[in-house]
Amino acid sequence: MKCISGQGHVAVWVALSLLILFGIMRYDNFASAYNLSSFLGYNSMFVLISIGMCLVIMTGGIDLSVGAVAALASVVAAQMSPQGLIVAVPAGLTAGIAAGLLNAAMISGLRLPPFMATLATMLAAKGVALRLSDNRTVPVDWTSDFTALGMNKVANLLPWTIIIAVAVVILAWAILERTSLGRTILAIGGNAEAAHLMGLKTRRAEIFVYVFSGACAGLAGVFLASGYGAGQPLEGAGWELAAIAAVVVGGTLLTGGMGSIPATVAGALLFGLVFNLLNFENGRGTISLSAHWQSVIRGFFLLIVILLQARLVRPAAKT
Amino acid sequence: MIGRIDRRMQGLLLALAVLIVLNIVVTPNFLNMRSLSVNVSQVATIAIVALGMTLVIASGGIDLSVGSVMAVSGALAPIIFLSGWGQANPALGLAASIVLPLMVAALCGLFNGALIAFVGVQPIIATLILFISGRGIAQVLTSGNLQTFTNPSFTWLGTGRILGLPVQGWIAIALTLVLAWIVRRSVYGRYLLAVGGNERAAVLAGVPVARVKLATYMIAATLAGLAGLIVVAINSASDAARIGQLMELDAIAAAVVGGAALSGGRAPVVGTLLGAVFIQLMGYTLIANGISDEMTLIVTAAIIAVAVWLQSGRRR
């Protein structure tokens, strides 16, 4: 099954390795436990939504609603935080799943184009988040155990959020590589009509990917509220595009039908690493790059990886 | 083909008429010049960007970078007329601060178009690059600072009036008419619809597909650049972090409500203008009647879903 990801993902592993190597050689504290856990803790949110996005894109769809849904879930979770983890986490997750179901209903039921359907959900989720929160950030209840999820560390090293994110990654990978659902997902992206005619349960798979993506966004929102102490209705703008970039950098074609979960994770980490390295570079004080350079450099990386992919994938695809 | 477009336009016109009548009845002071000006100046920038987006969508593509391109051109203009050279030659400086940003915007479009037409990158991804880095470039140019200025001749673009209506409203109408003519009557217009309708067939028929795409993305980016200048002129200030924020979504929504199909092959330019006006008026109606901002988002979401649903129903 390894061949499904083609050669497109080679570029991202090379780029990620080079950046990590560069960081380790150049900065003393880069490989420290502290940097590792704060870097991975922050980026676990992006890894989650990128994984959801990856499955959606594999079916040839797209999910623009993830950022707004994460913001909505963070508001819901923060409002439920006095009841503790046991209520707040499922509440945030439910908000995400509800948004996913809405997407699935519009796309699989009404046959709307995914781009427009999820754009509508994005606006609606943002509206609901602003309404629930009364247009303000919602502080979490610090006396309950809700913040333990985002702030406590297992064995004083890894935050819970990272462990959960890794579990979701493994789950997504297992579904994709080991179940008929996963094969159906890839088959839809390859050729939806053919997959349907072959008797595959395409509709079920389509509903699944949008609900899964919604759940991932919901969980990311819960992490946001728990790790940073507030439900943030205005957060998440542009997350959907960051996730799409991570998926694409990971070698998944937007037309669907192929892709790799591990390479998507690498793609998400690659974009996070640009920011991390920039912080270290500024910390050294030799040069001073403003935070604005961050997005310029990210765009540049996206360009390089896309050009590399065009060289790697195109000739293979043509023969 | 014409009959179908007309029917779609009839629906949109009817919806607009209902909204206007409703507003005359329920919204106080709806019919005075002031609220008309407010609405026109708010909708004009969205409409201008949406016109370019309509052409891109007609070619079967999408352009996510329009908001960032607005930020780039909006950041450049004050830099030029506030520079020593610009202040020494006010007239030349003014001309340069309009022409140069538009040229840079066109270059952004060239970049998008080249990636799409020559490298074969999908439009969402190709334009995602400038979406991410364009705003960063604008912020680097201005060091992230808010640039404020007083330059009456430049701000005329955003605050001037012709026959009582804001200049940018006239610009939007003029551009709509020009583009509607181009789409219907020019060779480029025919090629554009051919490329969006069936790219393979267009290639086989000898349509210069790559050149058509380049031109389309350049037009869209130039229009976005113009919208960026207008936004800066309205505010007498340029904030690279905020100009054109989320504009790509507004523009896509206006185009789709106006009857553009994401699958390409249709360029309802006049519909796009009406779509932008419809979304604007809907939002204005809700806010003017005391319904909160966030409900507007939810209603806009519903409008988009219904518009796309109607469209997909008709196609089958």
Q: Where do the domains of chain B lie, and which CATH numbers do they carry?
A: 32-315 (1.10.3470)
Query: What pLDDT is recorded for position B313?
Result: 61
Domain limits at A260?
2-24+32-311
Contacts of B64 in chain A (CB under 8 A): 241
**Measured between CA atoms, how close is A156 to chain B, in angstroms?**
36
**Choice between A158 and A124, residue whose per-residue pLDDT is larger:** A124
Residue of chain B whose alpha carbon sits nearest to that of A132:
B294
The residue among B299, B293, B286 whose CA lies nearest residue A130 is: B293
Q: What value does the mean pLDDT take over residues A253-263?
A: 79
Residue A181 burial (10 A CB sphere; 0-12, 13-18, 19+): middle
Tell me the range of A209-213, B1-5, B41-45, B138-142 where mean pLDDT is highest: A209-213
Look at A292 and B295 and tell me if their CB atoms are within 8 Å.
no
Look at B144 and A128 and tell me if their CB atoms are within 8 Å.
no
The residue among B103, B109, B50, B110 whose CA lies nearest residue B229 is: B103
- Neighbouring C-beta atoms of residue B310, cutoff 10 Å: 14
At residue A153, does pLDDT exceed 90? Answer: no
At residue B53, does pLDDT exceed 50? Answer: yes
Supply the angle between the helices B293-315 and B247-257 in degrees, to the nearest 10: 40
**Measured between CA atoms, how close is B233 to chain A, in angstroms?**
24
Query: What pLDDT is recorded for position B5?
Result: 55
Which of A111, A116, A135, A253 is the best mutation test for B, with the most CBs of B within 10 A? Answer: A116
Q: What value does the mean pLDDT take over residues A204-208?
A: 94
The residue among B128, B108, B131, B111 whose CA lies nearest residue B119 is: B111
Query: What pLDDT is recorded for position A188?
Result: 87
At residue A229, does pLDDT exceed 70? Answer: yes
**Which of A120, A131, A295 lies closest to B135 in CB terms?**
A295
At residue B94, does pLDDT exceed 90? Answer: yes
For chain A, report the end-to-end CA distance as a whole number of angstroms: 20
Contacts of B133 in chain A (CB under 8 A): 295-300
Query: What pLDDT is recorded for position A197?
Result: 81
Residue of chain A whose alpha carbon sits nearest to that of B130:
A299
On whether residue A316 sits in a domain, the answer given is: no
Residues 6+ apart with CB under 8 A from B302: A120, A124
Compute the distance between CA of residue A205 and CA of residue A96 in angstroms, rounded to an integer.
18
Domains contained in chain A, number: 1
Look at A255 and B122 and tell me if their CB atoms are within 8 Å.
yes
Look at B120 and A310 and tell me if their CB atoms are within 8 Å.
yes
**Which of B132, B262, B296 lies closest to A116 in CB terms?**
B262
Q: Is A136 helix (H, G, I), strand (E, B) or coil?
A: coil
**Measured between CA atoms, how close is A203 to chain B, in angstroms?**
18
On whether residue A318 sits in a domain, the answer given is: no
On whether residue A140 sits in a domain, the answer given is: yes
pLDDT tens-digit readout, B252-299: 999 999 988 888 888 999 999 999 999 999 888 888 888 887 888 888
Does the predicted TM-score (pTM) go above 0.95? Answer: no
**Measured between CA atoms, how close is B11 to chain A, in angstroms?**
19
**Measured between CA atoms, how close is B309 to chain A, in angstroms?**
6
On whether residue A163 sits in a domain, the answer given is: yes
**E-only strand ranges, chain A:** 138-139, 153-154, 158-159, 230-231
At residue A157, does pLDDT exceed 60? Answer: yes
- pLDDT interval class at A179 (50, 70, 90): very high
Look at A299 and B304 and tell me if their CB atoms are within 8 Å.
no
On whether residue A276 sits in a domain, the answer given is: yes
At residue A314, does pLDDT exceed 80? Answer: no
Look at B122 and A254 and tell me if their CB atoms are within 8 Å.
yes
The Cα-based distances of B81 to A127, B85, B98, B226, B244 in angstroms read: 39, 8, 9, 16, 21
Residue of chain B whose alpha carbon sits nearest to that of A134:
B294
Query: What pLDDT is recorded for position A7?
Result: 59
On whether residue A91 sits in a domain, the answer given is: yes
On whether residue A89 sits in a domain, the answer given is: yes
CATH of the domain at A225: 1.10.3470
Query: What pLDDT is recorded for position B316?
Result: 43
Query: What pLDDT is recorded for position A313?
Result: 57
Contacts of B121 in chain A (CB under 8 A): 306, 310
The answer, yes or no, to whether ipTM is higher than 0.95 is no
pLDDT tens-digit readout, B159-187: 889 988 899 999 999 999 999 999 999 99
On whether residue A319 sits in a domain, the answer given is: no
